[in-house]
Amino acid sequence: MAVLKIRTYPDKFLKQPTKPLDNIDGQTQKMIDDMAETMYQAPGVGLAAIQAGFDQSVIVYDIAPRDEKRVLNVLINPRIIAHEGSVLSENEGCLSVPDFRADVKRYAQVLVEGVDRDGNPLRIEADGFLSVVLQHEIDHLNGTLFIDRVSALKRQLYNRHLKKKMKKS
C-alpha cells in the first residue's frame, strides 16, 4: 500500500464531478487500499477518490474512534436517494482544505445506495456523524467542497490565509 498525495483547495481537479466506476478489478482494489492507507495516515475519517487524484466515484471511510478497532468501509458509485431533516455539522473539516474548520448545514438523515469493493449492492440508512461523513464525501464526488457550503466571508478569509501562507513558502 502507498500513501497518496491529497489534492488541496483551490486545485481545479477537485471541482469536477467524478465518473461512475464500471469495472472493479485489481487496479481498483489497489486504489482502494492506497486510499485507505492515505486516509488513516492523514489522519481522517473519509476520503474520496478525487482527493487522491482519481476521477472515479469511490469513497472510503471509517468513523470508529481512533483508539478502537478500525473498520474500513468502501462505497463505489454512492448516491443519496433520500434525505430528511436538518442538522448543523459543527466544526467540520476536510483533508483537502487544511487549517480550516466551519459549521456546515447538512441533512440529519440520509439513505445512500452504492456497491462495496466486491460489487455487492449496499443500502445505508445513516444519521448523526455517519450521515455527515457520507454527505461530505459524496459532495466531493460531485465536485463540491465543504468550503463551498460556508459563507462567502468565511471563504474570503480562508483564501487570504492561503495567499499569506503561499507568500511565506
90 tagged catalytic: no
What ranges make up the beta strands (E) of the chain? 46-48, 58-61, 73-84, 87-94, 97-106, 109-115, 121-127
Rounded distance between C-alpha atoms, residue 1 and residue 112, angstroms: 28
Q: For the chain, count helices (H), then strands (E).
A: 3, 7
In this prediction the pTM is 0.94
Residue from 37, 68, 84, 137 carrying the catalytic annotation: 137
> Cis omega before residue 17 (within 30°)?
no
Domain containing residue 109: 12-168
Domain tally, the chain: 1
Q: Is residue 41 part of a domain?
A: yes
Task: Quote the cell numbers at residue 156.
Answer: 474570503
Q: What is the pLDDT along the chain (169 residues), one digit of tens a residue?
A: 799 999 999 999 999 999 999 999 999 999 999 999 999 999 999 999 999 999 999 999 999 987 788 899 999 999 999 999 999 999 999 999 999 999 999 999 999 999 999 999 999 999 999 999 999 999 999 999 999 999 999 999 999 988 888 887 6
Q: Is residue 5 part of a domain?
A: no
The 3-state DSSP class for residue 107 equals coil
Rounded distance between C-alpha atoms, residue 77 and residue 79, angstroms: 7
We report the CATH number of the domain holding residue 35 as 3.90.45.10
